[in-house]
Structure 1
Amino acid sequence: MTKERPILFSGAMVRAIQDGRKTQTRRVATEFDGMDVDKVLARFPNQRGCPYGEPGDCLYVREAWRSTKELDPYSGGRIAEMCLDAGYSVPWAPIHYEADGQRRNWQDTSTPPHSSPPKPGRYRHARFMPRWACRLVLQITAVRVERLNDCSEADAIAEGIEPFTDFQSSGHWKRYRDGGCNSYVDNPIMSYASLWTEINGAGAWEKNPWVWVVEFRRIA
C-alpha cells in the first residue's frame, strides 16, 4: 500500500525542486553506524526498510512559511480546527512560502479572525508546517543506502547544486559555506560536499556516514 510521509527541505532546496534541478536527497542513516557493507545490505533488501519510504510512496514537503498576522497566536493544527468549526470542508488559510515568496489564498480573508488586505504574520519553521499547507508532493522512484562519499558527479548534480553563472563557459558549480560572490569549484562533488558541510556542520563530509539516498519525482 502506498504511504505518504513528511520531509523537510531548506528554502534553497525547495527552489531546486521547483526548478527541476533536485531529484535526490541524502539523509544520514544513523541505524547503520559501525556496520560493515555486508551487514548494511543484509538489513536493507529490495529497497525496503527506508524510514522515508519505498518506491511508489509519496513525500509531502515541509518548508518555512507564514500565515497572516491575525493567525499568529494559532498553530497549524488549531487553524485547521477553526476552519472545520466554521463549516469548511477542508482546512485552509492564507499561506506565504518563505523559499520564494509565493502566496496561496492570500486575498481570501474569510477565515476569522481576518483583515483586508492580509498582513504577513510570524515566521514558522518548516517542522511546523501541517499537511494542508504543503504545496509540493514527491513520489519516490528509488531508494538505496551507501556511504556519503560514494556520491557520483551525476548524483551531486541531482542533489540540486547550483551552476556558477559568472562564467560564459559551463562546468563550474557554486561553492557553498564561504558564500563569496566569486566562490566556485570545477567539480560537482566538491560543490555538493560544501553544501553538505553548510547544512550539517564542519567535518560532516569527512565523517563519511552511511546515508539513505532517496530518488524522487515531483507530482504536485
Structure 2
Amino acid sequence: MKERPILFSGPMVRAILSGQKTVTRRAMKPQPQKAPVDVVDGVPSWDSPTNYAGEVQMNTQHGNPCPYGKPGDRLWVRETWLEDPEDDGSWAYTQYMGCKGSPLSDIPKKFQKPEHCLFRATWGGPALIWRPSIHMPRWASRILLEITDVRVERLQAITWEEALDEGIGDHRFECDRPIEPDGYPACSCGSVGYVDAFAELWNSINGPAAWDANPWVWVVEFKRIEP
C-alpha cells in the first residue's frame, strides 16, 4: 500500500467532504494508441496479434501503471490552505508567533497537524492570503482517500450517473422539476445536463477544446477514510 498526493479544487473538496464525489478522471499521459483490454492493479494491457511460424497468436503488452496508484493504495488531498496554530483564524496572534507567511519549517511540531490549519474550500471568515495547494505538506492534509477501482476509458464515455459521482451536483439546474433518464431536467428552463456540466468543468481545467479531444482517461474510484 502506497500513499500519493493528489490535487483537488475547492468545489471538488467540498463534494468529497459531502460524500458526493467518489471518483476522479485524469487524462492519460502519454495517450495510448488503441483501447486497453484490461487494467489489473492499475496497469493497463493490450492484446496484439503476432505471427509465429504461420500461426497467429495474441501477445499481451503492458503499459505504464496508473500514476495515482492501484486499488488499496491511498491518496492524500492537497487543497488551498493556510497554517494557523491558534486554530481560529486570528491574524494578530499568528503574526506574533512568526508562523504566518514564514517557512513551514518554522512551525513548531506540535502545530504541524490539520487541526491547526485553515482550508479555503470551507473557510467562512475574512479574506486571507492562502498557500497554494501544490505547497501543502503531508501533515496539513485533512482528507485521505482509498482507491477502490482503476480503469481506462474515453472521456466522453461518462454517463450522467457517473457525472454525479464526479461531484457535479444539482447546481447546474435552474428548477426543481424531475429529470429524464438521460440526466436532463424534464422542462424547458434552459438548465444544463450533468454530462454537459462535467464537460464544462473539464474544459475549465484542461482547456477549451479538451472535451472535444475525447482523450483516454484514468478513472480512479475512491472512498474517504479516516487519516
Superposition TM-score tier, normalisation by shorter sequence? 0.7 to 0.9
**In the alignment, what sits opposite 1:19?**
18
Distance 2:72 2:103 in 1: 31
CA drift at 1:102 = 6.9
Paired residues in the alignment total: 185
TM-score, length-scaled by structure 2:
0.72
Aligned with residue 167 of structure 2, among 152, 160, 168: 160
Corresponding residue for residue 97 of structure 1 = 119
Query: Does residue 211 of structure 1 match 2:217?
Result: yes
Q: CA deviation at 1:184?
A: 2.7
Give 2:83's aligned residue.
67
CA positional deviation for 1:91: 2.6
Structure 1 length normalisation: TM-score?
A: 0.74
CA positional deviation for 1:195 = 1.1
Where do 5+ consecutive residues of structure 1 fail to align? 104-118, 175-181
Q: Which structure 1 residue ranges, 4+ long, deviate > 3 Å from structure 2? A: 44-48
1:122 Cα offset (Å): 2.5
Structure-2 change in CA distance of 1:17 and 1:170 (3 Å)? farther
Instruction: Specify the alignment match of 1:31 in structure 2.
Output: 30
Who is 1:55 aligned against? 71
Within-5 A mapping of 1:162-177: 162-164=169-171, 166-171=174-179
Counterpart of 1:136 (choices 139, 143, 157) is 143
Structure richer in strand, relative to its length: 2
Structure 2 unmatched runs, 5+: 44-64, 85-90
Q: CA deviation at 1:121?
A: 5.4
| Residue identity (%) | 39
Deviation at 1:166, TM superposition (A): 3.7
Q: In structure 2, what is the equivalent of residue 189 of structure 1?
A: 195
Tell me how large the CA RMSD over aligned residues is. 2.7
SS of equivalent to 1:195:
helix
- The one of 151, 155, 160 equivalent to 1:148 is 155
What is aligned with 1:83? 108
State the Cα distance separating 1:22 from its structure 2 match. Answer: 0.5
Q: Could you tell me which residue of structure 2 aligns to residue 7 of structure 1?
A: 6
Question: 2:174·2:191 contact (CA, 8 Å) conserved in 1?
Answer: no
The answer as to whether partners of 1:72 and 1:121 remain within 8 angstroms in 2 is no
